[in-house]
Amino acid sequence: MNILVCIKQVPDSAQIRVHPVTNTIMRQGVPTIINPYDLFALEEAMRLRDEYGGQVTVLCMGPPMAEDALRRALGLGADRAVLITDRRFAGSDTLATSFALATALGKIAEERAIDIVFTGKQTIDGDTAQVGPGIARRMGLNQLTYVSAIDSLDMGRRSIVVRRRSEGGVQVLRSALPCLITMLEDSNVVRRGSIQDMLRAARAPVTIWSAEEAGVEDPLKCGLRGSPTVVKRVFAPSPREESAEMVTVEGKDPARIGEAIIDLIFARDPKLEVALTATAS
């Protein structure tokens, strides 16, 4: 099986700071990680490889330092890594990102046809969940999003059965390869890399392609110029006018605190008292 996993390098956003005066994002010194959602995709891909044979290639579009993320994926057990990096990719929105990734995937498929492309459900920075569907559409792959489990795979018939999270339940879908799967979080337990994989990862070559080498013919479809969306303004949310009215009760008697809270709630929303007593009686 030829399995591709798209992984994105993202800032560890718990540590993102915003400059208090200029309101800009301070990226300096912010550690980067593999987008956490993508690890579930990588794990599922490796599980299929371990069962059916073949290889898992990780693909990333990003700045040169994104090689780190790919090496970490190799350390977890991926077989091969491809980084597409080019100034012309800078400022890509999801349409331009899916164009660049689909083009590189097309180039990879020239060597050997791709059976499954995996992506994460979404990223923690852009957080759009649009890149997976974009790639599927461009490559004509059967699109299977929000997958919580792969029930079965029949390589002879090239058919696959998956569970897809939808509103109010789970759809059990039968589809066909080649397909694109966006994997739901917590759908598997991500392995720790073996010592051998870690050692291999440190030395393994990472294929690095420019836009041209990735097969991009029309650079106008990449980066800022290939992006229909434009971010016009970035700003901090305005703080609320007043802060909370504090309940003050002498002593620490919970019962009196409880009564005081209720008085204040009903003072602010008298109709709520009426509604609650009506349903309670």
Partner 1 sequence: MKKELPERFKDYKNVWVVVEIERGRVHPVSWELMGEGRKLADRLGVQLCAVVLGPKAASTKAAVKQTYHYGADVCYICEDAALTDYRNAPYTEILTDLVNKHKPEILLLGATPLGRDLAGSVATTLGTGLTADSTELRIDDDNSLAATRPTFGGTLLCTIYTLNFRPQMATVRPRVFAMPEADTTRAGRMVWESLRMKEEDIVTKILEFVADNTSSEANLAYADIVVAGGMGLQNEANFRHVKRLAQVLGGDYGCSRPVVQKGWLPAERQIGQTGNTIRPRLYIAAGISGAIQHRVGVEGADLIVAINTDPDAKIFEFAHLGVVADALTVLPALSDAFARRLRAPALAS
Window 206 to 265, contacts with partner 1 (CB under 8 A):
227-237, 239-240, 243-247, 252, 254-255, 257-262, 264-265
Rounded Cα distance between 113 and 49, Å, is 15
Task: Give backbone dihedrals phi and psi of 14, rounded to 5 degrees, phi first.
Answer: -60, -20
Residue 63, preceding peptide bond in cis (omega within 30° of 0): no
Of 45-84, binders to partner 1 (CB under 8 A) are none
Rounded Cα distance between 259 and 248, Å, is 11
Whole-angstrom CA distances from 103 to 25, 84, 87, 195 are: 31, 10, 16, 34
Contacts for 100 with CB less than 8 Å, ≥ 6 apart: 61, 84, 89, 92, 211, 214, 216, 222
244 binds, among ligand FAD, partner 1, none (CB under 5 to 8 A by kind): partner 1
Q: Which of 43, 44, 86, 93 binds ligand FAD (CB under 6 A)?
A: 93
Q: Which of 65, 174, 194, 218 binds partner 1 (CB under 8 A)?
A: 174
Of 3-22, binders to partner 1 (CB under 8 A) are 13, 16, 18
Give the residue with the Cβ less far from partner 1, 74 or 222: 222
Least gap, CB of 108 to ligand FAD (angstroms): 13
| Binding flag, residue 223, ligand FAD (CB under 6 A) | no
Residue linked to tokens 């106008």: 220
6 binds, among partner 1, ligand FAD, none (CB under 5 to 8 A by kind): ligand FAD
| Binding flag, residue 103, ligand FAD (CB under 6 A) | no
Residue linked to tokens 């794990």: 43
| Binding flag, residue 115, partner 1 (CB under 8 A) | no
Contacts for 1 with CB less than 8 Å, ≥ 6 apart: 48, 49, 52, 53, 54, 55, 115, 116, 155
| Binding flag, residue 26, partner 1 (CB under 8 A) | no
Of 117-146, binders to ligand FAD (CB under 6 A) are 119-120, 122-132
3 state SS of 132: helix
Give the residue with the Cβ less far from ligand FAD, 136 or 160: 136
Give the residue with the Cβ less far from ligand FAD, 36 or 159: 36
- Of the listed pieces 59-67, 73-81, 140-148, 273-281, which binds ligand FAD according to CB under 6 A? 59-67
Q: Which of 7, 42, 108, 117 binds ligand FAD (CB under 6 A)?
A: 7
* DSSP conformation letters of 172-207: EEEEESSEEEEEPTTSS-PPPPPHHHHHHHHHS--E
